[in-house]
Structure 1
Amino acid sequence: MEFNKSLIAIKISDSILDWLLVRFYGPPYYTKKKKAWGNLLALLAAHQGPWVCVGDFNCILNEDEQIGGCKGSSSTTNYLKELMFNLNSVDLGYSGNKFTWAKGKWGNAVIKRRLDRGVASISWRLAYPKITVSHLSAINSNHAPILLDTCLADSFAHRPFRFEAVWLRDEGCKPVIESTWNKEVHRLDFVKLYKKQVATRDALRKWNKEIRHPSPVNELAEQSLQAELFEWLIRSEILWRQKSRELWLKLGDKNFKFFHLSMIICRRNNNIDAIKKEDGTWIHDSNQIRKLFRNNFVDLFKEDIDFPEHVEHLILPCITEEENEMLERIPSPEEIKDTLFQM
């Protein structure tokens, strides 16, 4: 679509939607910087559809993205912040090393910054909730290459059960819990509690998957349709509000796009896309990451105790051999009967 010394813009069509991909380079000098950022802002503002922009912005968002060197003046224009604010865009995050640029050799560099990144419009971020931006290893360069991956393979991972607050607004939720919890379980008390919790969890999962759906209202009047629609809007708002964890918003805002985006960003922040091993190598496969965590916890809590020889002889016995034999002996039916009748 467009290209110059600072940016290359191409239009991409895939199975999900049509979107704009922009590769941008932010010049470090003020005279060229203002023009390059102005062209980028004009291009993205004029584009009507979803877009994503990746590249070397030569700019950081906050002081946490830099180690060493001058932090910069607060009066200096931060073009990256202005672009994200004016276009209502979001940072795509990263996996791997935090910094993408180093002054000198990476091993002993005094100054490091996160100058390379990816930003996208909200519509593009919602369309690709599972994308990753990986910071790769730098080879013969002070810049680390970044990789935008939109074709991640789905990998199954067990998700813990969470009670959804929206279920409380459904009349069928309470009977499911009561009927499951009141079933007789003939076990010890602590086992009984565990069995009831597991049964209730499984019942709620089944109810949520197979039963909890809006009832057919094709034959109802328009007033009934409006009432049911309003109820489901409230439930959807509560659901996305809980998942987004943005509790400062009040019910009634009905900003579903904001809730959905917050939930996606929260999930991506909680997701582990890569982990660095003790030898300095990176693991990106999800199965290997889970295996590494499991093995580390096993080694952490594994206790190897080497007792000195004959340590048992250092402890004096408290009872005699005859008393020990009497304690280990199985009582006879007559002894059990006499004991019970004496209680």
Structure 2
Amino acid sequence: MEEYGFSGIVISLQFKNNIIREYITCSIDSGDGRFSSLCTIVYALNQMTSRRILWRDLLTFKYNVNGSWIIGGDFNAITSYDEKIGGVPVSDADIEDFQSFITISQLLHIRSIGCYFTWNNKQDVETRIWSRLDRCLVNEDWIHLYTTSQVEYLLPSCSDNSPALLIIEDDDDIEGKGLFKFFNMWVKHPDFISTVKSIWEQNIEGYKMYSFHSKLKKLKHALKELNKKHFMNINEQVLRSKDDLADIQRLLSEDLFNLGLIVREKECIKKYDRLLDCESSYKQKANISWSLERDKGSKFFYSIMKKKRHLNRILTLYTESGTRISDRSGIITKIVDYYKKLLGNSVSTT
């Protein structure tokens, strides 16, 4: 174990002797205690057999990780055909093998900007190869702790690979309101109609469009309260409802024509079906297709939702002249100036 410290960051490196590995892991902790994570740097070999050993080792390591973890570097593999131009075509087996590793490990790509192709062989036009070999993957704990993070792949300069700049913003410092999204599950709740009616029947003075806009704003807050009151921790509600139904059916199996148990079974089935419908609405929220039903409602599932919810945040901006802006005030000023220039200035109508 060796430790290095700089700029308030402490890095602990763990080395294993007499073993040739394609990755190295370190622990990174900030001096102010606001950041702490395991970080694994990968440099995969060219042979698929060697990479399979690497995938296996990383999976074994992942199952022993408690806390946030980021893994990045040159994986020497791609996830789709559009991640390579030139050279010998990549085989289906290579792509499927890497995709399978990412799926099984339940690691997520963090948002990336900058150079799409992170590697090239620096050769002439006829033999030039471009490929996206570098990437950063994170576990669900990273998503929950450091949602507002991204990796920027910079210009490669003299290297074959683009350097990766990891940017992590503090969620507490992010200003602005989240987008409002309507969920179909609300419509099936018995309080939905009365909630909408109570808002829509209010008398609001002013122009029709002002009245319409005001009611929509009030309805948004009312529906958020409805969601908070009845649909929070939906996965736990589904599990409890399933257990309640199983308990009733066990009792009913010993008393087949018990009227009270039959009525309670119907009520439990109705509640369980309703909660399952609500849970499936989170699929709508995540906007993702799930191949495995066991993922629905899991911690990994909610990590996907949180990751997608923050994709619209801008952490880095380049001006027309190529100047890089990363401070929040500068980004806001540049965006406002752009739209002022685009939309023009207000003029007097008198």
Superposition TM-score, scaled by structure 1 size: 0.66
2:60 counterpart (46, 57, 68): 46
Shift in Å, 1:237: 0.6
1:175 lines up with 2:202 in the alignment: no
Q: Which residue of 2 aligns with 1:9?
A: 25
| 2:216 paired residue number | 197
Secondary structure, aligned partner of 1:22: strand
Aligned to 1:77: 94
Deviations along 1:272-309, one digit per CA (max 9) or x if unpaired, are: 3323221112223344333323322221122799xxxx
Question: What is the CA RMSD across the aligned residues, in angstroms?
Answer: 4.2
CA distance in 1 between partners of 2:276 and 2:222 (Å): 24
C-alpha distance in 1 between matches for 2:78 and 2:294: 32
Please give the alpha-carbon distance, in whole angstroms, between the structure 2 residues aligned to 1:119 and 1:254: 18
**Per-residue CA distance 1:90-128 (angstroms, 9 max, x = gap):** 3334122323224439xxx95433221112445654565
* Aligned AA (1:77): D
Counterpart in 2 of 1:55?
73
Q: Which residue of 2 is the match for residue 87 of structure 1?
A: 105
Aligned counterpart for 2:339 among listed residues 297, 307, 312: 297
Structure 1 unaligned residues grouped into runs of 5+: 215-220, 306-343
Aligned to 1:34: 49
| 2:255 equivalent to 1:255 | no
CA gap 1:87/1:301 in 2 versus in 1, 3 angstroms: same
Deviations 1:312-331 (A, max 9, x none): xxxxxxxxxxxxxxxxxxxx
User: 1:20–1:49: 8 Å Cα contact kept in structure 2?
Assistant: no
**Number of residue pairs matched by the alignment:** 289
CA distance in 2, matches of 1:151, 1:185: 41
The alignment status of 1:65 with 2:65, answered yes or no, reads no
Alignment partner, residue 133 of structure 1: 151
Q: Any idea what the Cα deviations from partners look like across 1:172-207, whole Å, max 9, x if unmatched?
A: 332222112111234343333233323333443455
Instruction: Flag structure 2 segments of 5+ consecutive residues without an equivalent.
Output: 1-13, 233-243, 249-263
Cα distance, 1:236–1:18 mapped onto 2, change above 3 Å: farther
3-state SS of paired residue (2:282): helix
Instruction: Compute the displacement of 1:243 (Å).
Output: 0.7
Q: What TM-score, normalized by structure 2, do the two folds share?
A: 0.64
Match of 2:178 in 1: 159
The AA in structure 1 aligned to 2:117 is F
Structure index of larger Rg: 1
Distance 1:213 1:123, change over 3 A: closer
Report Cα offsets for 1:3-54 as digits up to 9, x if no partner. 54522134678989997532111234x4xx633x244223223232345421
SS in 1 for 2:91: coil
Equivalent position to 1:273, from 315, 338, 344: 315
Q: Secondary structure, in 3 states, of the residue corresponding to 1:94?
A: strand
Please give the secondary structure, in 1, of the residue aligned with 2:94. Answer: coil
Quote how far apart the aligned CAs of 1:241 are: 1.8
Q: Does 1:285 align with 2:327?
A: yes
1:118 correspondence with 2:132: no
Aligned-partner Cα distance in 1 for 2:100–2:224: 45
Q: 1:62 and 1:213, CA in 2 relative to 1: closer, same or farther beyond 3 A?
A: closer
> 2:276 aligned with 1:234, yes or no?
yes
Superposition deviation, residue 61 in structure 1 = 2.2
Identity %: 22
Q: Within the alignment, does 1:246 sit opposite 2:288 as a pair?
A: yes
